[in-house]
Amino acid sequence: MNKRTFLKSISLMSAGLLATNKLQALEYPQPITSAITKPRPLLKGGTIAVTSPSAATANREDIILAKQLIEALGYKVKLAANIMARRGHLAGSDQQRADDLNALFADQHVDAILCLRGGSGAARILPLLDYEMIRANAKPLLGYSDITALHNALLAKAGVLSFHGPNATSDWNPFHVKQFQQLFEQRQKVHYQNLPKADDELVNTQYLTQTITAGKAYGRLVGGNLTVLTALAGSPYLPDFDGAILFLEDIDEAPYRIDRMMSTLKLMGALDKIAGFVFGDCNACTPGNGYGSLTLDQLFTDYIKPLGIPAYRGAMIGHVKRQFILPVGARVVMDADAGTITMLENVFAS
């Protein structure tokens, strides 16, 4: 379903697409001492701003549809000042894109920020952001792919929790709308589990999860796009991985490049610190021509299995039609046998 279809059928959503799962009585095993700032709640009818911190859009239609999307969800729209700017492949200069993001966090009339698209370039603006101001004006920021750079920087430099999920130009199907409502409007402690098999399937082939190492793990959720995450290695814009639940996804990366990036995470010490591991989708991550290739299964055997921590793959995370909206920085429990992630805390300031 594309956004046009969604805008026509939002009132016909099926409540069964994402059932409200009851949170089991799970307790976090040890206190969290790191300072996390939760964003203020998004009030129904408030204002959602759209900004483009990464690549430019060549289509004015993207802006029109983004506005219609937000209005269909029941919110007012504010566009960043430089939303249609362009410098090469970027949505304006680094200063323009940073100014937009700083201004939207500072604007008391803006209640949440939705990124227009990913692409490339968000990391370039990280040194230009006012993290002290952002922490003082924490509000929900939603996006994925290249927006991984912002999620990690906000957590590392401001301690601010943000949300890994669809961009404004994503396919906002009823699954996404239902999760948006559960998380931002009903403020549930969401239980993330892949959709069940389709009616015409004997077994679940489309949303299959695979256990790498059995068990449950507790920790703060960190991660995002593997390529963008590893590009921040050695910088101050990565959060502490100690005791974290690391989630990853990627697109259009050959296995040898996935191998290189997993090796980077290993060599920088990140993998040895995490408490649990979740891999989402690796869309079009197939070998090119050559002498052969390691498989993703082999890479997880090499890098994740020896860690001895709970781990699974196949979660609905990444460049897929239906993806989870995950709170980056929130306390969660992941169950590698069941293929689930469950929030253990409310993610908005009280």
Active-site residue set: 145, 249, 319
- DSSP character string of 105-155: HH-TT--EEEE---SS-GGGGGGGS-HHHHHHT---EEE-GGGHHHHHHII
Residues across the chain = 350
Q: Is 221 helix (H, G, I), strand (E, B) or coil?
A: strand
Token pair of 44 as six digits:
């129904």
Q: Is 213 helix (H, G, I), strand (E, B) or coil?
A: strand
**What are the C-alpha distances in Å from 32 to residues 219, 330, 332?**
9, 11, 12
| Residue with tokens 């897929």, as numbered in its chain | 320
| Residue with tokens 């396919």, as numbered in its chain | 171
Residue among 98, 102, 114, 104 at smallest CA distance from 53:
98
| Residue with tokens 């296995």, as numbered in its chain | 255
- Over the Cα atoms of the chain, what is R_g? 19
Token pair of 207 as six digits:
């949303």
